[in-house]
Structure 1
Amino acid sequence: MSHEIISRYFEAFNTGDTETMLALVSDDVEHFVNQGDMRKGRDQFAEFCAHMGVSYREQLRDMVIFVNDHGTRAAAEFTVHGEYLETDPGLPEARGQRYVLPAGTFFALKGDKISRITTYYNLQDWIRQVAA
């Protein structure tokens, strides 16, 4: 079941189906963004998703999902193929630059909901790619 939840989450991400992503997270989900602040709760996660949909267009490829024996923890390794659409405050100016980044996400699961999402990628690599 845990593998299925994580697979559905990433399928929803790749199709831009924020409603499904929100349905898969707990009301009190903790969302840790790479080199950013933690967001707590489904509402803050929804705000983040809305912002990402405006500033970036991304597809996650080469997905490998790992789940522990108890189904309470999961991780995924993938490659982000993206386009920078609208300037994010404090970051380089967006001009439709394309980028490719290795990345990973760690999850905690409670029952049939994702209760924690922690994503990592090399921000300096991304900045080099979009600044070039």
Structure 2
Amino acid sequence: MDTKELITAYYDAFNAGRTDEMLAYLHDEIEHHVNEGQIRRGKDQFREFNAHMTRCYKELLTDIVVFANDAGDRAAAEFVVNGTYLQSDEGLPEANGQKYVLPAGTFFSVRDCKISRVTTYYNLADWTRQVSA
């Protein structure tokens, strides 16, 4: 599987809600750099993050475009997050099923044919405005 196929399979699993399958595409030493917060290291922390996200949010990514360098060790994806805020997340506005649409992007490092870094960016102020309206 080349890098673009790897990233596409990762997002296919995300969109299908198969978070355990997502873990299969990750390197054991995965580093998850989040938009706000500390770096999460290892599959256990990534699994915990996914469980938290599944409780608080229902998201579908659309308009996904995946890019990769020639060496296949770095990639990026641009997409639109179509979400529903299900359960209040600590430090964020109260949840009551608000819908949101948010452009986002992720940068990846790939090692040993597995994703070794996930760095996601989105506009938190825009998300907060949407769920607070």
Same structural fold, with TM-score higher than 0.5 when normalized by the shorter chain:
yes
Match of 1:25 in 2: 26
- Number of paired residues? 132
Identity %: 60
Q: Which runs of 5+ in 2 are unaligned?
A: none
Cα separation, 2, equivalents of 1:82 and 1:101: 8
Match of 1:124 in 2: 125
Q: How far is 1:113 from its partner? A: 0.5
Q: How far is 1:40 from its partner? A: 0.3
SS of the residue aligned with 1:95? coil
- Structure 1 runs of 4+ aligned residues shifted over 6 Å read none
Q: Which amino acid aligns with 1:29?
A: I
Q: Which amino acid aligns with 1:97?
A: Q
Match of 1:90 in 2: 91
**Cα RMSD over matched residues?**
0.5
> TM-score, normalization: structure 1?
0.99
Q: Which amino acid aligns with 1:114?
A: I
Q: Where in structure 2 are the equivalents of 1:67-86 lying within 5 Å?
A: 67-86=68-87
Q: How far is 1:24 from its partner? A: 0.5
> TM-score, normalization: structure 2?
0.98
Q: How far is 1:84 from its partner? A: 0.2
Deviations 1:78-126 (A, max 9, x none): 0000000000000000000000000000000002110000000000000
